[in-house]
């Protein structure tokens, strides 16, 4: 049984991937997630939301709404877009603090690293780190002060 990530949605994704014994099926699921992710219009794909350290072009756009995080994103590589979609789906609706508390060890529980090249696995971590950094920045915005 996969350990809890702190996100019900992410736990469900991890559970689904970890219960699949076939690496090809896991890979196909990630590609399916990619196809479901709405594209980010090119004019919104700006340098400030570009994930550094990825071989492919990856953009992740944060929004803090009603105290919880929402993201949109895109990538020029289908598998990377699927990994991005997995994170967007898994982290959507969490508070900035919850996003920052996600431990990247959940990747191991998915079994995906067997299907990913080292550069893709590293890119996946870079996407997660970018989203956590964005959540940290968002946390400082619009937080009411006690006065």
CATH code of the domain in which 79 resides: 3.90.1010.10
Q: What is the pTM of this model?
A: 0.89
pLDDT, residue 146, reads: 42
Closest Cα to residue 15, out of 2, 27, 4?
2
Asked whether residue 118 is assigned to any structural domain, the reply reads yes
Rounded to an integer, the average pLDDT of 110-131 is 89
Domain membership of residue 79 as a residue range: 8-41+50-139
Exposure of 61 in the CB half-sphere (CA atoms within 13 A):
14
In a domain, 3, yes or no: no
Tell whether 35 is covered by a domain: yes
Provide Rg for the chain, Cα atoms. Answer: 15
- The per-residue pLDDT of the chain, averaged, comes to 89
pLDDT at residue 44, rounded to an integer: 96
For 39-83, the pLDDT digits (tens) are 999 999 999 999 998 789 999 999 999 999 999 999 999 999 999
Gap between the Cα atoms of 108 and 52, Å rounded: 22
User: Which listed residue (2, 30, 40, 54) is catalytic?
Assistant: 54
Q: Give yes or no: 105 in active site.
A: no
d(CA 37, CA 3): 26
Distances (CA, A) of 85 to 2, 81, 97, 144, 145: 20, 6, 20, 31, 34
Domain count, the chain: 1
């Amino acid at each position: 049984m996969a350990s809890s990530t702190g996100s019900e949605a992410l736990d469900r994704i991890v559970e689904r991937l970890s219960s699949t014994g076939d690496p090809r099926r896991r890979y196909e699921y990630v590609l399916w997630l990619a196809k479901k992710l709405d594209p980010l219009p090119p004019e919104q794909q700006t340098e400030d939301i570009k994930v550094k350290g990825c071989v492919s072009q990856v953009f992740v756009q944060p929004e803090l709404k009603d105290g919880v995080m929402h993201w949109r994103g895109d990538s020029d590589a289908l598998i990377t877009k699927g990994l991005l979609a997995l994170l967007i789906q898994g982290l959507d609706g969490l508070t900035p603090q919850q996003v920052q508390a996600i431990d990247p060890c959940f990747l191991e529980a998915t079994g995906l690293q067997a299907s990913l090249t080292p550069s893709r696995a590293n890119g996946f971590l870079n996407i997660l780190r970018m989203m956590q950094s964005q959540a940290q920045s968002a946390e400082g915005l619009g937080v009411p002060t006690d006065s």
